Structure 1
Amino acid sequence: MKRQNTFLLWLLPLFFGLYSCANVSEPQEGEKEQVEAEPKRPKMSSFKFREIDIQGHRGCRGLMPENSIPAFMKALELGVRTLELDVVVTQDSQVVVSHEPWVSHLLANKLDGRPIGPNEERRFNIYKMPYSELIKYDCGSLPHPYFPTQQKMKVIKPRLLDVVKSVNLFEMKAELEKPIHYNIEIKRLPEYDGRYCPPVEEFVDLVLAAIDSAGISGHANIQAFDWETLRLVHQKRPKMPISMLVEETDDPQKDLDELGFTPEIYSCHFSMVNDTLVDWVKGHKMQLIPWTVNETADIEAMLAYPLDGIISDYPNRVMDVLMQ
């Protein structure tokens, strides 16, 4: 009997505790409307950033050395799911991630440590250099005059295949539902053919072969400022999404007519974006993804339009604005 009483005494506080919790969780008369009026905040894990495709320009050039594997990894860690990058070709036909088809004086010194002069950088021609020679250049340790907060570190210009391998590891570790997308710019100008890049058809074939070899043909698009390049890609791969890069124009329809087909994406400098352009792009059923939007005020101005994506050296700033 004594053990029974002890057991009952132990149960009583538990019972009253549960009863109190139940009463507290139920709003009292007059409080119910106030509770229901409070907005439900979205869970961070399901926040969709207005369905805007935030693209990391050259990875995240404002934060890390451009077009480097650390820059791409940092962008992915921030939440970027489309990597914007540029490709060129080496002497031994390797498709390499680089904005210029030469070693820029802004990114690297000569192998003996002396600076590369602005007027001599084209002598360090990647198209005339085997990849084994190119990787000797440290392209991330120099302070960048335009990106003073960029983290400095020793990096090389990676092959497209090496970038994809690193991204694949990230995807596996992060258990992503969808694969990372690649927005790949072919850095070709007609006057570069045979000097700084292969003839245009060979260039396109090498890039498409690299994309196939890396296994990303289903989640990549090609972009270029050069219409001949885009026409060749469209001819060889009709299902490959195309992004038409535009820096400035007085007549977008004339440019589109000259291209000869309607691409999936119209990607212009952000200063071109206005209501008229938005209506024209949407009227042609293209996506509108301006570049390169870096300052917070410009990001806010761009996000006032119904964009499909936004390309930035600072994808973290875009995310900060969207989270406000």
Structure 2
Amino acid sequence: MKKSLYVALIAVLIITACKTRMAENNKKISFPVFDTEAHRGGRGLMPENTIPAMLNAIDLGISTLEMDTHISADGLVVLSHDEFVNPLFSLSPDGKEIPPADAPKFALYKMKYADIEKFDVGSKYYSTFPQQKKMKVSMPLLSDLIDHVQAYIKSSGKPQVFYNIETKCTEKDDNIYNPVPETFVKLLMDVIEKKKISQWVVIQSFDKRTLQVLNKKYPHIRTSYLIQNKMTVAENLTDLGFTPFIYSPNSKLLNAQLVKECHEKGIKVVPWTVNTKEEIAQIKAMGADGIISDYPGLLTP
């Protein structure tokens, strides 16, 4: 009995030491002084959440690739902002338009990735972003995206970028359009750890539950709390229950006082989504630590 307790204690100490070491290693990787983020890879220029968009953003000199993730029926992490195949910019596997009323038939959480990747999310004209370059392209797996990005960085000599990965989930959609937070985080972290990029990762969410799971089980991972409500910084942090690495509000909610409050708590402020030179100048004047934009070229020299 005593031997079993001793072994169990040693195991706990080893796990704790490993997590502490990982957290320390991540802190050694400096985060950009001013973080320039390509929203969904820069959807003003290229099809959103696709590999070509991310590589283009790297060419533009951004520091962070911002992206959204969902989980497929076969438990794979897929890049997509929407829980359905979006008919506004997607075509069916046979190249036809998708009636908006049919979108719920194509819920990613109910489809295997082999079927998801057959949809074309880059050829159709997207009126919201008329300058977006058109190409036939699929929703990628996060694992494939990481492989392409890391290979491109190595071959081109470009600086290492950060990955700001959003968990797209809500409590009302648990087990309907997304898995429960513990499962979502586990599937996401399995990819991140397998690809050995945790030191370059920030995980963001509007869903505090996924961030809470990360803070408890993966404390070495930087987190970003996405904010769209009018609660105070103190109220949101109390609701979250811990201090995130980044506080990421809608840019319309940003002001110098909010930035000051966050900085006093050691939290970086990176608002979204800022798409004009005038807004960018205003955000910088408020003292923000970065900007997320659909037009990453506006953020770089």
Shift of 1:131: 0.8
Q: What is the TM-score normalised by the length of structure 2?
A: 0.86
| 1:96 paired residue among 62, 71, 78 | 78
Return the offset for 1:284: 1.3
- The answer as to 2:251 corresponding to 1:266 is no
Distance 1:171 1:230 in 2: 29
Match runs of 1:102-181 below 5 Å: 102-176=84-158, 179-181=160-162
Cα distance change, pair 263–117 in 1 and its aligned pair in 2 (3 A): same
Matches within 5 A, 1:52-91: 52-91=34-73
Tell me, yes or no, if the aligned pair for 2:169 and 2:207 is still in contact at 8 Å.
Answer: yes
- Of 173, 184, 188, the match for 1:207: 188
Deviation at 1:301, TM superposition (A): 1.2
Equivalent position to 1:231, from 189, 199, 212? 212
The CA RMSD over aligned residues, in Å, is: 1.4
Q: Which residue of 2 aligns with 1:281?
A: 262
1:313 lines up with 2:298 in the alignment = no
Mapped to 2, the partners of 1:81 and 1:163 lie a distance apart of: 16
Runs (4+) of structure 1 exceeding 3 A deviation are 111-114
User: Per chain length, whose mean CA-contact separation is higher, i.e. which structure has more relative contact order (CA < 8 Å, sep 6+)?
Assistant: 2
Task: Output the amino acid matched with 1:260.
Answer: G
In 1: Cα distance, 2:251 partner to 2:106 partner = 32
Cα distance in 2 for partners of 1:87, 1:159 equals: 9
For residues 160 and 290 of structure 2, the distance between their equivalents in structure 1, rounded to whole angstroms, comes to: 17
Structure 2 residue runs without a partner (length 5+): 1-31
CA drift at 1:101 = 2.0
Cα displacement (A) at 1:221: 1.1
Name the structure 1 match of 2:167. Answer: 186
Measure how far apart 1:308 and its partner are. 1.2
Report the residue type matching 2:255 in the other structure: N
Percent of aligned positions that are identical? 39
Q: What is the deviation of 1:116? A: 2.1
Cα shift at 1:273 = 1.2
What per-residue deviation string (whole Å, max 9, x for no partner) do you get for residues 188-235 of structure 1? 101111111112211111011111112211110110001111101111
Mapped to 2, the partners of 1:214 and 1:100 lie a distance apart of 25
3-state DSSP of counterpart to 2:101? coil
Is 1:299 the equivalent of 2:280?
yes
Q: Does the 8 Å CA contact 2:35/2:289 hold for their aligned counterparts?
A: yes
Question: Would you say the 8 A contact 1:266–1:286 is kept in 2?
Answer: yes
In 2, distance between residues paired with 1:161 and 1:71?
16
**Higher gyration radius (CA):** 1
Aligned equivalents of 1:93 and 1:119: distance in 2?
26
User: 2:188 & 2:299 partners in 1: Cα distance?
Assistant: 30
CA contact (8 A) 1:89 1:101 kept: no
* 1:59 alignment partner AA: G
With the length of structure 1 as denominator, give the TM-score of the two structures: 0.80
1:288 and 1:140 mapped to 2: Cα distance?
Answer: 32
Q: CA separation in 2, counterparts of 1:312 and 1:127?
A: 28
Q: Which residue type is aligned with residue 299 of structure 2?
A: V
User: What corresponds to 2:230 in structure 1?
Assistant: 249
Structure 1: unaligned runs, 5 residues or longer: 1-49
